[in-house]
Structure 1
Amino acid sequence: MTGEQPAAAAAAAAAPVTPATSAVDGGLVLCNVSVASLSFRDVVTAASAAGFDAISILGRSLRRARTREGLSDSDIRAMLDDNGLAVTEIEAVGDWLMPPPVDQPAFMNQVLTEAEYLQAGRSLGAKTLVATHFGDPVELDQAAEKFAGLCDRAADHGLNVALEAVAWATIGDIGTAWEIARRADRPNAGVLVDAWHHNRGPGAGNAEMLRRVPGDRVFAVQLSDAAATPVGPPLEDVRHRLLPGEGSLDLTGLVGILDDAGVRAPIGVEVLSAEILAQGPAGAGRILMDALRATLDRARSAVTESSGTESSAPGR
């Protein structure tokens, strides 16, 4: 791995680490997808200027930071520490069940191997490794066995593993993702809840499907919004995600279900918008943070008004 000394790499691989509770539980996350075209330094500027608690890191952004920006993992970790930022998720490993298809769109290609994701997650102090699956149809018991193996290897690096249901993927709904994690039966096995994929995928916003996931097994949440009618098929529509609160998705209902389940996972904002990025790193960060906070405030206010009690959700 670029920028790593042999002795440091050996030490990082030495003893197993038990996944621990993170200081950013309940915190607010700038998802790397929202700022993926920016340099890593600008990502840090966007997050710190807006007051985010943490960022997520994409494999392709990490590789670019190492190769084009000349940053070692130690440099990245120091930059985050200096700005009071943690890393929640590193994403997304796709070769845990079978080799990913070679004909998938370029932006979905896995740029790091599983071993590289695990090492990077540990060296950057990430809490969760995100996993997805694209390829042949999934047999649940086989997928669960493979996912259990991934979770065991991740535990040795101090990582939880969140299986993300992607709208056009083989594992496309939160019900299937949770069933695989449940059958894997590992303490660090869970799911990532992405509002856009949950509403645009096979589950089509199925609330009961979401309610079946135990709150302590939701390791990450990503919010964005969308128009009532999809703009073409999912692979096209995903590029038209909106800021939370600017579309027609029931984000208040989704946040309410997660709060009722006792979810304490970090919550991020994941939107693709050249117009937002045109405001510069600090300006973009503030736009994304304002939309995320406003959405969470509306959701918690709605619950408070309907119950007549103060919301007890953490971190907001």
Structure 2
Amino acid sequence: MSVIRVGTRGSALALAQTTAVANRIAAAAGVDIEIVPITTHGDVSRESLSSLGGTGVFASALRESLLNDECDVVVHSFKDLPTDVYPGLTIGATPKRADARDVLVARDGLTLATLPEGAKVGTGSPRRAAQLREQRPDLDVVDIRGNVDTRLALVTDEKLHAVVLAAAGLSRLGLLENLATEFLELSDWPTAPGQGALAIEVRDVKPDRLLAKALAVLNHATTQATVTAERHVLARLEAGCAAPIGATAVLDDGLLFLTATVYSPDGTRRITASHAATPESHSAADLLDAAHDVADRAARELLAGGAAEFAPLTVTS
């Protein structure tokens, strides 16, 4: 393999994060890289994520291109990737995670607490909308779509007072320090399962030797375990983007901790489950076993506490 073709969405953010990954693949494998931009349905539609079906609208075109041998790997934002196994494909590597927090980008340096009553705050995420309504029920939460520049322009042009965005995305675009007016801490504002992490997907066959070497170098076992724990809660609840769910997993002092919260769409109710597991070792396999264990227990507690009664969940076995 003299050239590794890397598929990506064509947005500025997707190209920025894919280029960073592609450069690492090139360095590890010692081969040239070709970046292949791919247009997805989620990129061209202006409908809300909920009406589009949420999870998967950004991933399906990339995956079909990979299966059709138009590229050798694709790079996803993990939070955009469905939890169901996609026939013929597998996650080849999970690079080290960036900042998982959300940030507020507001006019005049305002924070969530100092926004005026009735301020218009934009987001395309049902989870963020529920959190905004919970913490500031007086706000006018506006459903928005578009790339990062489009969303930021709504604040610059004074159509909105603020927008909520992912810290990782702004950081990858070099915009975080200049634009974020408040970092929303994970303890009070849990973010989407997998937020801040990238997934490198490949065909489910034995990879070329050089590509396999690169994937092994890029994979970060701790990130792989924490993202797996968060996303396994999502899988157990079959929630996707249609249900407001935040999840945060960390590996600290030999323990894998997971906290998951389900919100009602209107922000008036929530239920939280927190659990910990002790991996038998720091091997990737043992970390993944602990991730599934802690997520199973959290999901059972959420359901037992009545999460399915106020959020659009579909229980799986």
TM normalised by structure 2 equals 0.28
Q: Which has the higher helix share?
A: 1
Larger strand fraction of residues: 2
